[in-house]
Chains A and B, each alone.
Chain A
Amino acid sequence: MNPPIVEVKNITKVYSLASGDVVALDDLSLTIEDGEFVAIMGPSGSGKSTLMNQLGCLDVPTRGRLLIAGTDVRTLNDHDLTRLRLSTLGYIFQRYNLIPLLTAYENVEYPYILKNRKQDDTGHVGELLESVGITRKMARHRPAELSGGQQQRVAIARALVNEPKILICDEPTGNLDTKTGLQIMKMLTELNENGNTIIMVTHNPETAGYADRTIVIRDGRIVT
């Protein structure tokens, strides 16, 4: 059996504020196996966003060990952390977060260029877009000219372009209508079936139902 893709050991995250320290994550431990589909739930303020930021390598824990694909992220500097985000992780956000200045195609190609230092001449970007249901014609448009569902598809293609080990999804259906949300969840399930590890934050129990396992967080600790 493969070693776990994510290993969280007793991590604590403390925010120092003027009004005093806030403990967002309190001695939390968690293991996610390669190929798992995990949903993280919890009320607002529970620390689930903080946990996602740690798992997504956007932030590092104050104490504890956090291994992503075998690397302890606390030992990494900003440059290497950024490098890890680029090639090991894929992000899907609630608000799609496409770059408004780039077309749909360029948005997907952007991380590819960052990683490979050259433009895509393999047709990889085009194929990916096609596979998430974005036609060539649509791909020439700027994000603002696309519907929410289309933007989220582009965002999924972007997340997949560097073949990440882990997909980090932050409320992926939060801004979509039920029907479009269903399509996106179906797409994520398919990706999981093809071997992608997916970690998803949601507050919607129905969406969480697609996951193999649901972790509930409250006050910076895992409840179940």
Chain B
Amino acid sequence: MKTPKIFSDVLLTLSARSIRLNMLRSILSALGITIGVIAISAMGMLGANMTSVVSAQMSSMGNTMTVTPYTGGGGGGPPGMGSSDDDSYITEDQYDDIYQIASKYGTVYPLYSESDTITTKNDEEGRATIYGLEADDMQAVLTVDNGTFPRSESDVLVGTQLAERQDLEIGSKIKIGDEDEGQIKVRVSGILAETGLSSSLRTDSAIVMTEDLYTSFYGGEGEYTQVTILLDDINNSEVVSNALTGKLNKREDVISVSDSSSMASRITSSISTMVTFMQAIAAISLLVAAVSIFNVMMMSVTERISEIGILRSIGTQKDEVMKMFVYEASIIGLIGSSAGVILSFVVGYIVVAMLVGDTSYFFEWNSMMYLPIGMVIGTTICIVTGLYPAWRAANMDPVEALRAD
């Protein structure tokens, strides 16, 4: 039979009054739930915000694909850090194939790279990565902060960090190469804008020269170190990758395609592993809270045995007694979880601000959803742990219960 609302109120009244009678005890156990809910919600929000922030950072580099010669197994070092294997390169024919496939999805450009000794004024020696790019590509891919793109045969661009370290400015002369194996003297025509880690081509510590200058010094024209593809739409990365390997690696593996979005997903997944671990710890605090609720409910049942006897003897049904105690646990749970949700909002914001340093994703749904989730978990745990004590109360023998003091 469905119980009308007004009737439920009597049982609710009894539950609420029992809680009020044991205020301190009830508050303490509600507090346990509050802390548990805060822990689990704040951790969830922290994880969600971390993931959002990192994946936003990653997506700026996520649109880059790099095609390098297949070196067998492993591979996958960052592009341009130069494997010293001079034999492996991307041929002109392979480049043409790559261009044919990938050019409709974005910008494709070949790149030469080498790591070499450089000598600046006062005979200061150092090492730098040397990139060779076609003049057109250079203008498309790079930004010059100071100065101009190369205008004469021996003009080069340098990265900001290199310029700072070696005290280079526009017009500075650099000797590239070992003294014994021949050197080339170049002139700095421009200093590149800082690219940071999230660029397709990290030039901060590099020297960039035209293809002509590069091949005239190192030789190997048409033997590219890598081909970079800047995708217009990151979602095409898989299509392009499959098309490239399908075409070029048909007979044997000659190229490897690395896709920085896969790195992004690796980072995201390691963040989520970390967050799951933190949430597991938070779950333990909820478990502790559950035990305390269980204890409080058992105490409430034990203290009220004779009252249960009275209720049963004057005609209260078993399920009504059960309901009364479940209500009691639910009220404690609801109060505890509500306080938990409100505090989670505050604590979560502080934790995100402190640990992630960026709260711009805080109010998004995949962060905010941990509030209702925490609330539901907290309340559910209270009701579930209240079930057994309630069941015990309901199934007490009324004669025995009446006899109790």
Residues of A within 8 A of B (CB): 53, 56, 58-59, 78-79, 82-83, 85-87, 91, 93, 97-102, 106, 110-111, 113-115, 117-119, 158, 162
A132 → B minimal CB distance (Å):
16
Most chain A CB within a 10 A radius of its CB, from B311, B312, B318, B402: B402
Would you mind naming 12 contact pairs between A and B with Cβ atoms under 8 Å apart? A78-B318, A79-B318, A82-B315, A85-B315, A97-B309, A99-B310, A100-B307, A101-B21, A102-B17, A113-B7, A115-B315, A117-B4
Interface membership of B288, Cβ < 8 A: no
Docked-complex contact A110 and B10, CB < 8 angstroms: yes
Given contacts A97-B402, A110-B10, A117-B4, whether A58 and B313 have CB atoms under 8 Å apart is yes
Docked-complex contact B317 and A111, CB < 8 angstroms: no
Residue interface bits B294-313, CB-to-A below 8 A is 1, else 0: 00000000000011011111
Q: CB within 8 A of A58: which of B3, B18, B398?
A: B398
Docked-complex contact A86 and B314, CB < 8 angstroms: yes
Docked-complex contact B399 and A91, CB < 8 angstroms: no
Question: In chain A, what residue has the closest Cβ to B403?
Answer: A49
Residues of B within 8 A of A (CB): 3-4, 6-7, 10, 13-14, 17-18, 21, 306-307, 309-318, 320, 398-399, 402
**C-alpha spacing A55/B318, complex, angstroms:** 20
Given contacts A82-B318, A101-B14, whether A56 and B313 have CB atoms under 8 Å apart is yes
B300 → A minimal CB distance (Å):
11
**C-alpha spacing A25/B21, complex, angstroms:** 41
**C-alpha spacing A117/B3, complex, angstroms:** 8
Given contacts A58-B399, A99-B307, whether A114 and B315 have CB atoms under 8 Å apart is yes
Question: In chain A, what residue has the closest Cβ to B316?
Answer: A114
Residues of chain B lying within 8 A (CB to CB) of residue A98: 310
Docked-complex contact B310 and A97, CB < 8 angstroms: yes
Most chain B CB within a 10 A radius of its CB, from A87, A111, A114, A162: A114
Residues of chain B lying within 8 A (CB to CB) of residue A53: 399
Docked-complex contact A86 and B315, CB < 8 angstroms: yes
Question: In chain A, what residue has the closest Cβ to B395?
Answer: A78
Residues of chain B lying within 8 A (CB to CB) of residue A87: 315
**C-alpha spacing A79/B318, complex, angstroms:** 8
Docked-complex contact A102 and B7, CB < 8 angstroms: no
Q: CB within 8 A of B311: which of A56, A99, A117, A119?
A: A99
Given contacts A97-B402, A118-B6, whether A111 and B314 have CB atoms under 8 Å apart is yes
Given contacts A99-B307, A102-B14, whether A91 and B398 have CB atoms under 8 Å apart is no
B249 → A minimal CB distance (Å):
75
**C-alpha spacing A111/B313, complex, angstroms:** 11
**C-alpha spacing A56/B314, complex, angstroms:** 10
A129 → B minimal CB distance (Å):
16
Q: With contacts defined as CB atoms under 8 Å apart, how many contacts are there between chain A and chain B in the complex?
A: 71
B403 → A minimal CB distance (Å):
9
**C-alpha spacing A82/B6, complex, angstroms:** 21
B402 → A minimal CB distance (Å):
7
Residues of chain B lying within 8 A (CB to CB) of residue A111: 314-315
Question: In chain B, what residue has the closest Cβ to A90?
Answer: B314
B47 → A minimal CB distance (Å):
44
Most chain A CB within a 10 A radius of its CB, from B4, B307, B309, B314: B314
Residues of chain A lying within 8 A (CB to CB) of residue B314: 85-86, 91, 110-111, 114, 158
Residues of chain A lying within 8 A (CB to CB) of residue B315: 82-83, 85-87, 111, 114-115, 162
**C-alpha spacing A85/B399, complex, angstroms:** 13
Docked-complex contact A79 and B399, CB < 8 angstroms: no
Question: In chain B, what residue has the closest Cβ to A96?
Answer: B310
Docked-complex contact A113 and B10, CB < 8 angstroms: yes
Question: In chain B, what residue has the closest Cβ to A101?
Answer: B17
Residues of chain B lying within 8 A (CB to CB) of residue A79: 317-318
Question: In chain A, what residue has the closest Cβ to B3?
Answer: A117
Q: CB within 8 A of B7: which of A78, A101, A117?
A: A117
Question: In chain B, what residue has the closest Cβ to A57?
Answer: B313
Residues of chain A lying within 8 A (CB to CB) of residue B398: 58
**C-alpha spacing A114/B315, complex, angstroms:** 8
**C-alpha spacing A102/B307, complex, angstroms:** 11
**C-alpha spacing A87/B3, complex, angstroms:** 18
**C-alpha spacing A114/B10, complex, angstroms:** 9
Docked-complex contact A59 and B399, CB < 8 angstroms: yes
**C-alpha spacing A162/B316, complex, angstroms:** 13
**C-alpha spacing A91/B311, complex, angstroms:** 11
Docked-complex contact B7 and A118, CB < 8 angstroms: yes
B20 → A minimal CB distance (Å):
9
**C-alpha spacing A205/B314, complex, angstroms:** 28
**C-alpha spacing A152/B245, complex, angstroms:** 93
**C-alpha spacing A33/B312, complex, angstroms:** 27
Given contacts A59-B399, A117-B4, whether A85 and B313 have CB atoms under 8 Å apart is yes
**C-alpha spacing A76/B20, complex, angstroms:** 37
Residues of chain B lying within 8 A (CB to CB) of residue A102: 13-14, 17
Residues of chain B lying within 8 A (CB to CB) of residue A58: 313, 398-399, 402
Residues of chain A lying within 8 A (CB to CB) of residue B17: 101-102
**C-alpha spacing A110/B402, complex, angstroms:** 18
User: 6 tightest CB-CB pairs across the interface, nearest first?
Assistant: A86-B315, A101-B17, A97-B310, A85-B315, A117-B7, A58-B398
Residues of chain B lying within 8 A (CB to CB) of residue A117: 3-4, 6-7
Residues of chain A lying within 8 A (CB to CB) of residue B309: 97
Residues of chain B lying within 8 A (CB to CB) of residue A59: 399
Residues of chain A lying within 8 A (CB to CB) of residue B317: 79, 82-83
Docked-complex contact A99 and B14, CB < 8 angstroms: yes
Residues of chain B lying within 8 A (CB to CB) of residue A106: 13
Residues of chain B lying within 8 A (CB to CB) of residue A78: 318
**C-alpha spacing A113/B316, complex, angstroms:** 10
Question: In chain A, what residue has the closest Cβ to B18?
Answer: A101
In addition to A99-B310, A101-B14, A114-B315, 6 A-B residue pairs with Cβ atoms within 8 Å of each other are A82-B317, A85-B313, A85-B315, A102-B13, A111-B315, A158-B314
